[in-house]
A and B are shown apart, each in its own frame.
Chain A
Amino acid sequence: MVYGRSDHGRRPVEPVTLKILVAGGFGVGKTTMVGAVSEIRPLRTEEMLSEAGRPVDDVDGVEGKTTTTVAMDFGRITLDQDLILYLFGTPGQDRFWFMWDDLVRGAIGAVVLVDTRRLADCFPAVDYFENSGLPFVVGVNCFEGAGRFPAETVRAALDLDPEVPLVMCDARERESVKEVLVTVVEHAMTLATRQREHAAAITT
Protein backbone atom coordinates (compact mmCIF):
# COMPACT_ATOMS: atom_id res chain seq x y z
CA MET A 1 0.00 0.00 0.00
CA VAL A 2 1.39 3.33 -1.00
CA TYR A 3 0.44 4.98 2.27
CA GLY A 4 2.76 2.57 4.08
CA ARG A 5 5.39 5.20 4.69
CA SER A 6 3.21 7.03 7.16
CA ASP A 7 2.90 3.92 9.34
CA HIS A 8 6.07 4.86 11.12
CA GLY A 9 4.56 8.18 12.06
CA ARG A 10 7.44 9.88 10.32
CA ARG A 11 6.97 12.08 7.31
CA PRO A 12 9.09 11.30 4.29
CA VAL A 13 11.81 13.86 3.63
CA GLU A 14 10.40 16.67 1.57
CA PRO A 15 12.87 17.64 -1.09
CA VAL A 16 14.09 21.16 -1.71
CA THR A 17 13.49 21.95 -5.37
CA LEU A 18 15.52 24.38 -7.44
CA LYS A 19 15.53 25.33 -11.09
CA ILE A 20 17.89 26.54 -13.75
CA LEU A 21 16.58 27.88 -17.06
CA VAL A 22 17.98 27.14 -20.49
CA ALA A 23 17.18 29.89 -22.97
CA GLY A 24 18.19 30.71 -26.52
CA GLY A 25 16.86 30.86 -30.03
CA PHE A 26 14.77 28.24 -31.76
CA GLY A 27 16.71 25.08 -32.60
CA VAL A 28 19.85 26.08 -30.74
CA GLY A 29 19.85 22.88 -28.68
CA LYS A 30 17.95 23.77 -25.48
CA THR A 31 16.13 20.45 -25.23
CA THR A 32 19.31 18.58 -26.18
CA MET A 33 21.09 20.31 -23.32
CA VAL A 34 18.32 19.43 -20.86
CA GLY A 35 18.32 15.83 -22.09
CA ALA A 36 22.10 15.48 -21.75
CA VAL A 37 21.96 15.67 -17.96
CA SER A 38 18.35 14.86 -17.06
CA GLU A 39 17.62 11.53 -15.38
CA ILE A 40 14.29 11.47 -17.17
CA ARG A 41 13.61 11.88 -20.86
CA PRO A 42 12.79 15.58 -21.21
CA LEU A 43 9.11 16.03 -20.47
CA ARG A 44 6.86 18.52 -22.10
CA THR A 45 4.40 20.62 -20.25
CA GLU A 46 1.96 22.99 -21.86
CA GLU A 47 0.15 26.08 -20.86
CA MET A 48 -2.90 27.29 -22.68
CA LEU A 49 -3.25 30.96 -23.31
CA SER A 50 -6.15 33.32 -23.81
CA GLU A 51 -8.61 31.12 -21.94
CA ALA A 52 -7.00 32.46 -18.83
CA GLY A 53 -7.57 35.93 -20.26
CA ARG A 54 -3.94 36.84 -20.59
CA PRO A 55 -4.09 40.36 -21.96
CA VAL A 56 -0.62 40.19 -23.40
CA ASP A 57 -1.30 37.22 -25.63
CA ASP A 58 -0.70 38.85 -28.94
CA VAL A 59 -2.60 36.98 -31.61
CA ASP A 60 -2.03 39.46 -34.42
CA GLY A 61 -2.12 37.61 -37.66
CA VAL A 62 -3.82 34.59 -36.16
CA GLU A 63 -7.02 36.33 -35.09
CA GLY A 64 -9.10 33.29 -35.90
CA LYS A 65 -7.26 31.33 -33.28
CA THR A 66 -8.73 31.51 -29.82
CA THR A 67 -6.24 29.42 -27.90
CA THR A 68 -2.52 28.97 -28.12
CA THR A 69 -0.37 26.48 -26.35
CA VAL A 70 3.13 27.19 -25.19
CA ALA A 71 5.29 24.18 -24.62
CA MET A 72 8.21 23.97 -22.25
CA ASP A 73 10.57 21.05 -22.08
CA PHE A 74 12.06 20.20 -18.76
CA GLY A 75 14.25 17.65 -17.08
CA ARG A 76 15.10 16.59 -13.55
CA ILE A 77 18.33 15.87 -11.71
CA THR A 78 18.07 14.34 -8.26
CA LEU A 79 21.25 15.63 -6.62
CA ASP A 80 20.46 14.14 -3.27
CA GLN A 81 17.49 12.46 -1.65
CA ASP A 82 16.25 15.87 -0.55
CA LEU A 83 17.62 18.10 -3.29
CA ILE A 84 16.14 18.14 -6.78
CA LEU A 85 17.23 20.39 -9.61
CA TYR A 86 14.85 21.02 -12.50
CA LEU A 87 16.01 22.35 -15.85
CA PHE A 88 13.52 24.26 -17.95
CA GLY A 89 13.95 25.00 -21.63
CA THR A 90 12.20 28.32 -22.10
CA PRO A 91 9.68 28.86 -24.86
CA GLY A 92 11.49 30.59 -27.69
CA GLN A 93 8.95 33.08 -28.98
CA ASP A 94 9.17 36.65 -27.81
CA ARG A 95 5.45 36.92 -27.29
CA PHE A 96 5.60 34.47 -24.43
CA TRP A 97 7.65 36.74 -22.22
CA PHE A 98 5.09 36.61 -19.44
CA MET A 99 5.76 32.91 -19.08
CA TRP A 100 9.37 33.73 -18.46
CA ASP A 101 8.35 35.87 -15.49
CA ASP A 102 6.83 32.75 -14.02
CA LEU A 103 9.90 30.66 -14.80
CA VAL A 104 12.41 33.20 -13.53
CA ARG A 105 10.74 33.44 -10.13
CA GLY A 106 12.84 31.47 -7.67
CA ALA A 107 15.33 30.26 -10.30
CA ILE A 108 19.03 29.98 -9.37
CA GLY A 109 20.08 31.29 -12.76
CA ALA A 110 20.04 30.65 -16.48
CA VAL A 111 22.09 29.49 -19.42
CA VAL A 112 21.72 31.41 -22.66
CA LEU A 113 22.66 28.97 -25.36
CA VAL A 114 24.20 30.54 -28.45
CA ASP A 115 24.78 29.33 -31.98
CA THR A 116 27.45 31.56 -33.53
CA ARG A 117 25.85 31.12 -36.96
CA ARG A 118 22.69 32.77 -35.66
CA LEU A 119 24.00 35.01 -32.97
CA ALA A 120 21.11 37.48 -33.03
CA ASP A 121 18.65 34.75 -31.95
CA CYS A 122 19.91 34.97 -28.40
CA PHE A 123 19.67 38.77 -28.03
CA PRO A 124 16.16 38.74 -26.56
CA ALA A 125 17.18 36.23 -23.88
CA VAL A 126 20.31 38.19 -22.95
CA ASP A 127 18.26 41.41 -22.74
CA TYR A 128 15.61 39.72 -20.65
CA PHE A 129 18.01 38.32 -18.06
CA GLU A 130 20.00 41.56 -17.89
CA ASN A 131 16.77 43.40 -17.09
CA SER A 132 15.39 40.85 -14.66
CA GLY A 133 18.67 40.61 -12.75
CA LEU A 134 18.74 36.82 -12.91
CA PRO A 135 22.33 35.51 -12.91
CA PHE A 136 23.09 34.02 -16.31
CA VAL A 137 25.99 32.60 -18.26
CA VAL A 138 26.37 32.37 -22.02
CA GLY A 139 27.08 28.91 -23.41
CA VAL A 140 28.40 28.88 -26.95
CA ASN A 141 27.18 25.60 -28.40
CA CYS A 142 30.00 24.30 -30.56
CA PHE A 143 28.20 22.25 -33.15
CA GLU A 144 30.31 20.17 -35.42
CA GLY A 145 31.03 22.26 -38.45
CA ALA A 146 30.05 25.47 -36.75
CA GLY A 147 32.72 28.06 -37.17
CA ARG A 148 34.58 28.50 -33.92
CA PHE A 149 35.13 32.04 -32.88
CA PRO A 150 37.37 33.10 -30.01
CA ALA A 151 35.41 33.75 -26.83
CA GLU A 152 36.35 37.41 -26.92
CA THR A 153 34.88 37.85 -30.39
CA VAL A 154 31.55 36.38 -29.29
CA ARG A 155 31.62 38.42 -26.10
CA ALA A 156 32.17 41.61 -28.07
CA ALA A 157 29.46 40.72 -30.57
CA LEU A 158 26.99 40.20 -27.74
CA ASP A 159 28.17 43.32 -25.91
CA LEU A 160 28.26 41.28 -22.71
CA ASP A 161 28.93 42.71 -19.31
CA PRO A 162 32.53 41.70 -18.45
CA GLU A 163 31.45 39.73 -15.40
CA VAL A 164 28.99 37.49 -17.27
CA PRO A 165 30.76 34.14 -17.75
CA LEU A 166 31.02 32.86 -21.32
CA VAL A 167 31.84 29.21 -21.86
CA MET A 168 32.26 26.99 -24.89
CA CYS A 169 30.18 23.84 -24.64
CA ASP A 170 28.63 20.94 -26.45
CA ALA A 171 24.95 20.59 -25.59
CA ARG A 172 25.07 16.86 -26.38
CA GLU A 173 27.87 16.08 -23.94
CA ARG A 174 26.91 15.34 -20.38
CA GLU A 175 30.25 16.41 -18.92
CA SER A 176 30.21 19.65 -20.87
CA VAL A 177 26.66 20.49 -19.78
CA LYS A 178 27.52 19.68 -16.15
CA GLU A 179 30.36 22.20 -16.34
CA VAL A 180 28.03 24.86 -17.76
CA LEU A 181 25.53 24.27 -14.94
CA VAL A 182 28.28 24.45 -12.32
CA THR A 183 29.34 27.77 -13.86
CA VAL A 184 25.76 29.08 -13.50
CA VAL A 185 25.57 28.12 -9.83
CA GLU A 186 29.03 29.51 -9.06
CA HIS A 187 28.13 32.78 -10.78
CA ALA A 188 24.86 32.95 -8.78
CA MET A 189 26.85 32.34 -5.60
CA THR A 190 29.34 35.10 -6.39
CA LEU A 191 26.52 37.58 -7.03
CA ALA A 192 24.60 36.50 -3.93
CA THR A 193 27.67 36.85 -1.72
CA ARG A 194 28.37 40.29 -3.12
CA GLN A 195 24.77 41.39 -2.57
CA ARG A 196 24.92 40.25 1.04
CA GLU A 197 28.18 42.09 1.63
CA HIS A 198 26.74 45.17 -0.03
CA ALA A 199 23.64 45.01 2.19
CA ALA A 200 25.83 44.55 5.27
CA ALA A 201 27.98 47.53 4.30
CA ILE A 202 24.90 49.75 4.07
CA THR A 203 23.51 48.76 7.45
CA THR A 204 26.78 49.26 9.34
Chain B
Amino acid sequence: MNDAGQDQQHWFDGEAGPVVRPYAMTRGRTSSATRHRLDLIAIVVPEPTAGDPGRDQTLSPEHVEIVERCSASPQSIAELSASLDLPVGVVRVLVGDLVEDEIVHVTRPVPPAELPDVNILREVINGLRAL
Protein backbone atom coordinates (compact mmCIF):
# COMPACT_ATOMS: atom_id res chain seq x y z
CA MET B 1 0.00 0.00 0.00
CA ASN B 2 2.77 2.34 0.93
CA ASP B 3 4.55 1.48 -2.27
CA ALA B 4 1.48 2.40 -4.25
CA GLY B 5 1.42 5.75 -2.50
CA GLN B 6 5.04 6.36 -3.38
CA ASP B 7 4.44 5.55 -6.99
CA GLN B 8 1.64 8.04 -7.10
CA GLN B 9 4.02 10.84 -6.28
CA HIS B 10 5.94 10.23 -9.45
CA TRP B 11 3.05 9.21 -11.59
CA PHE B 12 2.44 12.64 -13.04
CA ASP B 13 4.83 15.34 -14.09
CA GLY B 14 4.69 18.59 -15.98
CA GLU B 15 4.19 16.82 -19.28
CA ALA B 16 1.16 14.96 -18.03
CA GLY B 17 -0.67 18.28 -17.94
CA PRO B 18 -2.49 19.91 -15.07
CA VAL B 19 -3.86 17.63 -12.35
CA VAL B 20 -6.98 19.71 -12.01
CA ARG B 21 -8.87 20.32 -15.23
CA PRO B 22 -8.72 24.08 -15.75
CA TYR B 23 -12.42 24.72 -15.97
CA ALA B 24 -12.92 22.96 -12.62
CA MET B 25 -11.58 26.22 -11.14
CA THR B 26 -14.48 28.07 -12.66
CA ARG B 27 -16.98 25.41 -11.55
CA GLY B 28 -17.53 24.51 -15.17
CA ARG B 29 -18.38 28.00 -16.33
CA THR B 30 -16.91 29.02 -19.65
CA SER B 31 -18.18 32.57 -19.78
CA SER B 32 -18.40 35.19 -17.11
CA ALA B 33 -21.35 37.16 -15.84
CA THR B 34 -19.85 40.47 -16.89
CA ARG B 35 -21.50 42.19 -19.79
CA HIS B 36 -18.39 42.82 -21.80
CA ARG B 37 -16.00 40.19 -22.98
CA LEU B 38 -12.72 40.95 -21.28
CA ASP B 39 -10.08 41.82 -23.81
CA LEU B 40 -6.65 40.20 -23.68
CA ILE B 41 -5.10 43.59 -23.00
CA ALA B 42 -7.68 44.79 -20.48
CA ILE B 43 -5.79 45.72 -17.31
CA VAL B 44 -7.05 44.36 -13.99
CA VAL B 45 -6.91 46.99 -11.24
CA PRO B 46 -7.81 46.15 -7.63
CA GLU B 47 -10.36 48.48 -6.04
CA PRO B 48 -8.67 50.46 -3.27
CA THR B 49 -11.71 49.95 -1.06
CA ALA B 50 -11.60 46.16 -1.25
CA GLY B 51 -10.23 44.49 1.86
CA ASP B 52 -7.68 41.72 2.12
CA PRO B 53 -8.81 39.18 -0.47
CA GLY B 54 -7.14 36.37 1.47
CA ARG B 55 -9.75 36.74 4.21
CA ASP B 56 -12.66 36.49 1.85
CA GLN B 57 -13.97 32.96 2.29
CA THR B 58 -15.97 33.07 -0.92
CA LEU B 59 -12.86 33.44 -3.07
CA SER B 60 -10.82 30.55 -4.44
CA PRO B 61 -7.03 30.57 -4.13
CA GLU B 62 -6.84 31.51 -7.83
CA HIS B 63 -9.06 34.57 -7.25
CA VAL B 64 -6.83 35.65 -4.37
CA GLU B 65 -3.72 35.09 -6.45
CA ILE B 66 -5.06 37.32 -9.21
CA VAL B 67 -5.86 40.15 -6.80
CA GLU B 68 -2.47 39.90 -5.13
CA ARG B 69 -0.56 39.90 -8.40
CA CYS B 70 -2.48 42.91 -9.65
CA SER B 71 -2.00 44.79 -6.39
CA ALA B 72 1.75 44.64 -6.87
CA SER B 73 1.30 46.09 -10.36
CA PRO B 74 -1.86 46.01 -12.47
CA GLN B 75 -1.64 43.33 -15.15
CA SER B 76 -3.46 42.48 -18.35
CA ILE B 77 -5.61 39.39 -18.82
CA ALA B 78 -2.93 37.97 -21.16
CA GLU B 79 -0.17 38.48 -18.58
CA LEU B 80 -2.26 36.86 -15.85
CA SER B 81 -2.95 33.90 -18.10
CA ALA B 82 0.76 33.45 -18.77
CA SER B 83 1.98 33.96 -15.22
CA LEU B 84 -0.70 31.75 -13.62
CA ASP B 85 -0.36 29.21 -16.43
CA LEU B 86 -4.12 29.15 -16.94
CA PRO B 87 -6.03 29.31 -20.22
CA VAL B 88 -7.26 32.78 -21.13
CA GLY B 89 -10.87 31.59 -20.90
CA VAL B 90 -10.41 30.54 -17.28
CA VAL B 91 -8.78 33.84 -16.35
CA ARG B 92 -11.67 35.71 -18.00
CA VAL B 93 -14.22 33.87 -15.85
CA LEU B 94 -12.24 34.36 -12.63
CA VAL B 95 -11.65 38.07 -13.28
CA GLY B 96 -15.35 38.38 -14.20
CA ASP B 97 -16.22 37.07 -10.72
CA LEU B 98 -13.93 39.64 -9.11
CA VAL B 99 -15.50 42.44 -11.17
CA GLU B 100 -18.97 41.29 -10.09
CA ASP B 101 -17.86 41.35 -6.46
CA GLU B 102 -16.38 44.82 -6.96
CA ILE B 103 -12.97 43.66 -5.80
CA VAL B 104 -11.32 44.73 -9.05
CA HIS B 105 -12.24 46.69 -12.13
CA VAL B 106 -10.83 46.39 -15.63
CA THR B 107 -9.76 49.11 -18.02
CA ARG B 108 -11.62 49.19 -21.30
CA PRO B 109 -9.31 49.09 -24.28
CA VAL B 110 -10.33 50.81 -27.48
CA PRO B 111 -13.84 49.60 -28.35
CA PRO B 112 -14.19 47.50 -31.50
CA ALA B 113 -14.42 49.36 -34.80
CA GLU B 114 -13.21 52.53 -33.18
CA LEU B 115 -9.85 53.91 -34.09
CA PRO B 116 -7.48 55.04 -31.39
CA ASP B 117 -7.06 58.77 -31.09
CA VAL B 118 -4.52 60.16 -33.56
CA ASN B 119 -2.76 61.87 -30.66
CA ILE B 120 -2.29 58.52 -28.93
CA LEU B 121 -0.90 57.04 -32.16
CA ARG B 122 1.55 59.92 -32.36
CA GLU B 123 2.57 59.20 -28.78
CA VAL B 124 3.13 55.56 -29.72
CA ILE B 125 5.39 56.53 -32.61
CA ASN B 126 7.43 58.89 -30.45
CA GLY B 127 7.61 56.27 -27.69
CA LEU B 128 8.85 53.61 -30.10
CA ARG B 129 11.48 55.91 -31.57
CA ALA B 130 12.73 56.80 -28.09
CA LEU B 131 13.17 53.14 -27.05
Contacts and interface: CB of A to CB of B under 8 A. Distances in A.
A192 B87 contact: no
B127 A85 contact: yes
Given A86-B41, A185-B121, 18 more contacts: A3-B71, A11-B48, A12-B74, A14-B43, A18-B116, A43-B79, A48-B22, A51-B89, A74-B82, A79-B127, A79-B131, A103-B40, A108-B116, A174-B131, A181-B128, A188-B116, A188-B121, A189-B122
24 contacts: A2-B71, A3-B71, A14-B74, A14-B107, A15-B74, A15-B107, A17-B41, A19-B109, A46-B81, A51-B30, A74-B82, A79-B128, A84-B41, A86-B41, A102-B40, A106-B109, A106-B110, A108-B121, A178-B131, A181-B128, A186-B125, A189-B118, A189-B125, A195-B115
Interface residues of A, number: 50
Interface of A: 2-3, 5-6, 11-12, 14-19, 37, 43-48, 51-53, 69, 72, 74, 76-77, 79-80, 83-86, 88, 102-103, 105-106, 108, 174, 178, 181-182, 185-186, 188-189, 192-193, 195
Contacts of A44: 82
Contacts of B58: none
Contacts of A108: 116, 121, 124
Contacts of B25: none
Kindly name the residue among A2, A43, A44, A102 whose own CB sees the greatest number of chain B CB atoms within 10 A.
A2
Contact of B120 (A11, A16, A76): A16
Interface residues of B, number: 45
A45 B81 contact: yes
Contacts of B72: 2
B88 interface: yes
Contacts of B78: 43, 45, 72, 74, 86, 88
